[in-house]
Amino acid sequence: MAMENYKNELDRIRAIIENFYVAKFACKEEEYEANKNNKEQIGKFIFRIKQANDLLEPEQQDLMNGALELLARNTGDAEDGEIAEQIIDNLFYDLKIIDQNDIDRFYQYNATGRWE
């Protein structure tokens, strides 16, 4: 049941990000903050699943892969790249909850996502 709850949470974050792309903003700063806040939810989600004691390690990895893919597929321009890099750096350097394989996976998703 826990896995299903986390999948639902990831779907909720996905919907928020999809809605961002059709929303109208009063100014560029407001748009940037909304974009950053939405994508930071992915980082918070990864943190929660890595701390979860109700998931098996393969379940954690599956959810993390889904979250990294969501972030990568929604990283297109330089501003998105800056936001994603801040999130990845925080998870790797500060929180130490992702490893180099996760970073490589993010960049693999990012490179292939642009051409689909």
| Annotated domain spans of the chain | 2-113
For residue range 32-78, what is the model confidence (pLDDT) as tens digits?
A: 999 999 999 999 999 999 999 999 999 999 999 999 999 999 999 99
pLDDT above 90: percentage of residues in the chain:
93
Q: Answer positive or negative: Cα dihedral of 94, 89, 87, 58.
A: negative
- Residue 80 pLDDT greater than 90, yes or no: yes
pTM strictly above 0.75: yes
Q: Taking Cα atoms as reference points, which of 4, 79, 80, 2 lies closest to residue 42?
A: 80
Tokens 């929303």 — which residue? 23
pLDDT value of position 115:
46
The torsion region of residue 60 among left (phi > 0), alpha (psi -120 to 50) and beta comes to: alpha
What mean pLDDT value characterizes the chain?
95
Of 67 and 1, the structure prediction assigns the larger pLDDT to 67
